[in-house]
Amino acid sequence: MHWSSISLPLTALSLAAPALAYPQARAEQPLAQTNIRNSRADAVKAAFVHAWDGYSKYAYPNDELHPISNGSGNSRNGWGASAVDALSTAVIMRNATIVNQILDHVALIDYSTTEDKVSLFETTIRYLGGMLSGYDLLKGPAAGLVSDKAKVEVLLTQSKKLADVLKFAFDTPSGVPHNNVNITSHGNDGAKTNGLAVTGTLVLEWTRLSDLTGDQQYAQLSQKAQSYLLKPQPESAEPFPGLVGSHIDIETGKFADGRVSWDGGDDSFYEYLIKMYVYDPKRFSTYKDRWVQAAESTIKHLASHPETRPDLTFLSSYNKGAYTLSSQHLTCFDGGSFLLGGTVLQRDDFIKFGLDLVKGCHETYNQTLTGIGPESFSWDPKSVPASQKELYERAGFYITSGAYILRPEVIESFYYAWRLTGQEMYREWIWNAFVAIDKYCRTGSGYAGLTNVNAANGGARYDNQESFIFAEVLKYIYLAFSPDDVWQVQRGKGNKFVYNTEAHPIQVA
């Protein structure tokens, strides 16, 4: 199917200009659709305010709310992760009250002190990405939201301070960073290797920081680390063109294995290859070439169809000649990545495959008792537990971890499918997921995770609300029902923003 020949019944654009798209149906149908869209957008905003108010009342300035006990946790170094992660969504929802509260908080953060080791990856995607995105939005298309311009500038000065605190992590013989570091002693956890995703998911944020400050050191550090991933050594690290191993030796920059997947640990390395090209096609065309190779190899070698549901497509993983037939909620960003690459590069085969992946991940939601998908699942016919035979026969997969910790990836890919095809079905899938999350995860003060998505009421609940419900889950849902703003994902080459892996929109170069 060619990208432009997909039928477009009700795109966000056609809703904005119903007279052009639907000359016969001016008064009734588009208006009714607009009303539904607006009421759904309002419901998502209300969910965001509910979670924000609970965090604000019981957990601020800690990292996250414990939404059952109304306590709080500091899993992200105690710098107020939920506040920083919520900023870009609050901007997109145009809630000036919350935006100003968060800006006041950012000004107070002391990134030079913490009691725990710091994860370079988590800190980059949540804090650095959150602040840079807030800066790009508030200096650009959302400039009217904050009248005090000095409060916006703080986002950039704090970003630079944070990167200056962290940059020693790259000071290794190869330039491949340590991920878990002590910012007081400049020590690390002693790891000999670093993971593919945590090494390869820094370059967007650190390059943006250089482009905004004019100080090239941040871009250079992250791109030097990335260089080993783009030209993998030894040969065995790249069993199929573009698909590379999972661990990189910090001393030499050589890969330590050739195990390939799109699962957690590897995932956002592939995500950022194409996103860097969207960020700046001039500087990052090599990244795009590597993504194309990986995508083609993935279609050829990793695509897998359950025996009981050959109509579904999942991604398997591969190591030394053997395939593992299992996947994860985390992996379900894959449909969105193929759709973004497909539309930007005008490759019908990638679009079609992306929609196949989206359909598979939707099935993991649609076939459970709660309508929410599991943390991990499998379709290996040799290992089906007796208790899940019926599920495997009907749904094509069985559950290996039934937890749901408020992850975004399935909804994220639905959002790309909605934006790029305009088919209402994908927006309905997003709405169904929202209704299910609101039904099973909502507490008096926020949203809690579930222990078993395929048990009545989702099993028990985890007393934790990850900051990414603010940054990602509620943002992607809201975007699907909100107007066609400049930060939305666009068809073709028209993207003015690109989303980091924590769903913070970064302005393209």
Ligand X SMILES: *[C@@H]1O[C@H](CO)[C@@H](O)[C@H](O)[C@H]1NC(C)=O
Count the neighbouring beta carbons within 10 Å of the beta carbon of residue 360.
29
Instruction: Specify whether 280 is catalytic.
Output: no
Burial of 432 (0-12, 13-18, 19+ CB in 10 A): middle
C-beta closer to ligand X: residue 116 or 148: 116
Candidate residues 193, 445, 488, 495; the one interacting with ligand X per rule CB under 6 A: 445
Q: Which of residues 367-386 bind ligand X (CB under 6 A)?
A: 371
CA distances from 211 to 13, 87, 216, 338 (A): 32, 21, 7, 27
Q: Which of residues 96-125 bind ligand X (CB under 6 A)?
A: 97-98, 116-117
- Neighbouring-strand partners of residue 376: 328, 401
Position with the least CB separation from ligand X: 444
| Binding residues for ligand X, total number by CB under 6 A | 19
Binding mask 36-55 for ligand X (x = CB under 6 A): ---------x---x--xx--
- Neighbouring-strand partners of residue 260: 318
Q: Which two structure tokens, joined as six digits, stand for 368?
A: 């459970």
- Farthest CA pair distance, the chain: 70
Candidate residues 366, 400, 451, 490; the one interacting with ligand X per rule CB under 6 A: 366
C-beta closer to ligand X: residue 371 or 483: 371
CA atoms within 13 A on the CB side of 124: 29
Instruction: Tell me which amino acid residue 196 is.
Output: L
Q: Which of residues 416-435 bind ligand X (CB under 6 A)?
A: 432
Instruction: Specify whether 375 is catalytic.
Output: yes
- In the complex, least distance from residue 85 CB atom to ligand X, rounded to whole angstroms: 16
Question: Quick one: which segment of 94-102, 265-273, 373-381, 494-502 binds ligand X (CB under 6 A)?
Answer: 94-102
Q: Which of residues 148-167 bind ligand X (CB under 6 A)?
A: none
CA distances from 45 to 25, 311, 476 (A): 29, 36, 12
Instruction: Specify whether 267 is catalytic.
Output: yes
**Options 409, 466, 472, 502, the catalytic residue:** 409
- In the complex, least distance from residue 69 CB atom to ligand X, rounded to whole angstroms: 5
- In the complex, least distance from residue 444 CB atom to ligand X, rounded to whole angstroms: 3
CA distances from 450 to 58, 118, 183, 366, 372 (A): 21, 27, 34, 16, 10
SS3 content of the chain, % helix, strand, coil (to 5): 55, 10, 35
Candidate residues 29, 69, 112, 285; the one interacting with ligand X per rule CB under 6 A: 69
C-beta closer to ligand X: residue 297 or 445: 445
199 annotated ligand binder: no
CB burial readout 304-341, b (16+ within 10 A) else e: bbbebbeebbbbbbbeeeeeebbbbbbbbbbbbbbbbb
Instruction: Specify whether 205 is catalytic.
Output: no
Question: Quick one: which segment of 27-35, 180-188, 267-275, 501-509 binds ligand X (CB under 6 A)?
Answer: 180-188
Annotation: binding site: 501
Q: Which are the catalytic amino acids?
A: 122, 267, 375, 409
Annotation: binding site for Ca(2+): 501
Residues that bind ligand X (CB under 6 A): 45, 49, 52-53, 69-70, 95, 97-98, 116-117, 182, 184-185, 366, 371, 432, 444-445
